[in-house]
Amino acid sequence: MRGGGLWQLGQSIARRQLARPDHKKSPSAAAAAARRYFASEGDLKKTVLYDFHVANGGKMVPFAGWSMPIQYKDSIMDSTVNCRENGSLFDVSHMCGLSLKGKDAIAFLEKLVIADVASLAPGTGSLTVFTNEKGGAIDDSVITKVTDDHIYLVVNAGCRDKDLAHIEEHMKAFKAKGGDVAWHIHDERSLLALQGPLAAPTLQHLTKDDLSKFYFGEFRILEINGATCFLTRTGYTGEDGFEISVPSENALDLAKALLEKSEGKIRLTGLGARDSLRLEAGLCLYGNDMEQHITPVEAGLTWAIGKRRRAEGGFLGAEVILKQLADGPTIRRVGFTSSGPPPRSHSEIQDASGANIGEVTSGGFSPCLKKNISMGYVKSGLHKAGTNVKLVVRGKAYDGVVTKMPFVPTKYYKPS
């Protein structure tokens, strides 16, 4: 889910950079490419860490209305590998955190998402999808049941405006019928993502809470480096890690403390490596791999539809989604490895005879596996691992094979 749609940014900068032998593409060229798709510098919002990024060599590009670092002094390739070997610190404050509160908060949210929110234990969460009336994905989000009357969730930066308008529209109707729910948008907070094998030992230096008893998908409100933070053990890389919602006035001190406690092994990391990491982990990027016309079933997120929700429905588009669960979808999201140049979003997928069977939605060169990886949608029946396909890049077809995802094994911290 996480990081907002890297649709234009990833296409014009990050993946192009990964694909080239001279992947240390000049920052001026990268920034120029990004500006063709985004607002002028003067229109961009800045996170509280903006000056810190620039001081540390961050190459800032416009993204989803914000000026964000795509990389720092190291290459995207090196930064991706370092996250898996040591760790990364991402500023993801452009994403939107919000709380829903009230005795009917869960009942309200369950009208909009596919998750069985009511069955979550307090202090736990899950990936979910906001759906429209046709069952398509409005956005994906990580939601947490803090208590029975408090839900915390984070939505993608590129979807903020439409998500908030969607929630607000339905909240007004819900409240008009007597429902008890209110919301607060956490614009007073910043969001940091600490990822990689050194994430937990580094963070442990800054909190008295025992992180060894804090597992993947869990949430706590606790003191970190002297500030009251919302801590979720989650991430967008496939590695163990945390997302830390911190009061904005404390964000800079926390970022500095995390880097210092890691003794330089955890590095500031930009959106370029974040995209390659999530692709290696087989995670969807909204705007590429999920859109308004793609259902959670087609996207391979059937597991996120709670058992009770499958029986009862009650969310937008439930009729379409439950029918797909019963009959099977006509298309499915799958992974690929391939020869030749890396496939890109919109690259055609063909069967062995050259007939069109689908389209790539994300692709690039894997810094960790040192080979091409991609994902996309194919016709059902051609989605099984080991199926040989052709991927068309710049008019030429190259050999590929349907490959089980994640491409790089996940390392989420779970009870043994």
What is the 3 state secondary structure string of 104-149?
CHHHHHCCCECCCHHHCCCCEEEEEEEECCCCCEEEEEEEEEEECC
Cα distances (Å, whole numbers) of residue 369 to 317, 351, 396:
38, 25, 24
Q: How far apart are CA 96 and CA 159, in angstroms?
A: 9
Identify the burial level of 264 via C-beta atoms within 10 angstroms of its C-beta, where 0-12 means exposed, 13-18 middle and 19 or more buried.
Answer: exposed
Q: How far apart are CA 147 and CA 170, in angstroms?
A: 22
Q: How far apart are CA 285 and CA 158, in angstroms?
A: 11
Q: What's the alpha-carbon Rg for the chain, to the nearest Å?
A: 21
Q: How many CB atoms lie within 10 A of CB 215?
A: 13
Q: Is 298 annotated as a binding residue?
A: no
Main-chain phi, psi angles of 211, to 5 degrees: -75, -15
Q: Considering only the C-alpha atoms of the chain, give the largest distance between any 2 of them, rounded to a whole number of Å.
A: 63
Lookup: tokens for 34: 């990004």
Lookup: tokens for 87: 């760790």
Q: What amino acid is encoded at 383 in this protein?
A: H
Q: How far apart are CA 140 and CA 148, in angstroms?
A: 22
Instruction: Judge contact between 189 and 253, C-beta under 8 A.
Output: no
DSSP state of 415: -
Residue position matching structure tokens 């000049």: 26
- Binding-site residue ranges for substrate: 243
Which residues are known binding-site members?
243
